[in-house]
Amino acid sequence: MVRVKICGISDSATAVVAAEAGADAIGLIFAPSRRRVTAAQAREIAAALPPFVTKVGVFVDEERGRIEESIAACGLGAVQLHGAEPPEFCAGFRVPVVKAIRVKDASSLEQMTAYQVDAFLLDTFDASALGGTGRTFDWTLAIQAARTHRTILSGGMTPVNVVEALTRVVPYGVDVSSGVETDGRKDHAKIRDFIRRVREWDVENQYPRVTYQVQTWRP
């Protein structure tokens, strides 16, 4: 089953909508961003979620001590490191680590071999932004990465293109933020639609259909 993360959630009502729709994880951004949450907001959101939805803290070149404090204070189940963190920095956390790779070209994937992390998130490279660009990158590169690494596809995901992305890349997971927003705010209908399309794809592609042949018994 493809994992779904709804990132950039900043209120508990939206977090609950995502969880009830079937999201596996929600992203709480602690880095400078219009979607940034405070520790108090993160705790409130975490408290509203059911126990098996993972709270992922998103950090950009943050001090290790601050990340560890946030893990403990906010009940984070994983961290996503979205900056220029070197391989040695990403090791030794008490929770799973997802390292974001901003994909510009094929050379962007070369650094993946240096990291010992639990998964990679592939996002679109933009010289002026670290994420949330709303633009896709060359998915043939994601296909290559997904063959050898646990890969979460991000960058320009929307309810419209997610099925194509899943069919072409077959990633471990998908991550969406701006693609489920309207006028810069999370749109609950788009969140539900995005997750529904992923789950429908799961049924069609991950679980083979069984055809039963009815036979008539004769004594």
| Tokens (6 digits) for 209 | 């259909």
For residue 20, give every residue at least 6 positions away whose Cβ sits within 8 Å of its Cβ, in sequence order, or none.
none
Q: Which of 7, 24, 74, 175 is catalytic?
A: 7
pLDDT tens sequence for the chain (219 residues): 999 999 999 999 999 999 999 999 999 999 999 999 999 999 999 999 999 999 999 999 999 999 999 999 999 999 999 999 999 999 999 999 999 999 999 999 999 999 999 999 999 876 555 555 567 889 999 999 999 999 999 999 999 999 999 999 999 999 999 999 999 999 999 999 999 999 999 999 975 444 434 444 444
In a domain, 23, yes or no: yes
Is 211 within the bounds of a domain? no
Domain extent, residue 117, equals 3-205
Is there a domain that residue 212 lies in?
no
Classify 175 as helix, strand or coil: strand
Instruction: State how many domains the chain has.
Output: 1
Angle made by CA atoms 26, 168, 17, in degrees to the nearest 5? 20
- CA-CA distance, 29 to 20, in Å (whole number)? 21
Catalytic residue, chosen from 24, 74, 123, 175, is 123
Active site residue 11: no
Residue 197 located in a structural domain: yes
Q: Could you tell me the CATH number of the domain that includes residue 26?
A: 3.20.20.70
Number of Cβ atoms within 10 Å of the Cβ of 94 = 9
Determine what percent of the chain falls in helix, strand and coil, rounding each to the nearest 5: 35, 20, 45
Q: Is residue 40 part of a domain?
A: yes
**Residue of 30, 34, 31 whose CA lies nearest to 55:** 30
- Asked about 7 being catalytic, the answer comes back as yes
Residue 160 domain flag: yes
- Pick from 216, 178, 165: which is nearest to 27 by CA? 178
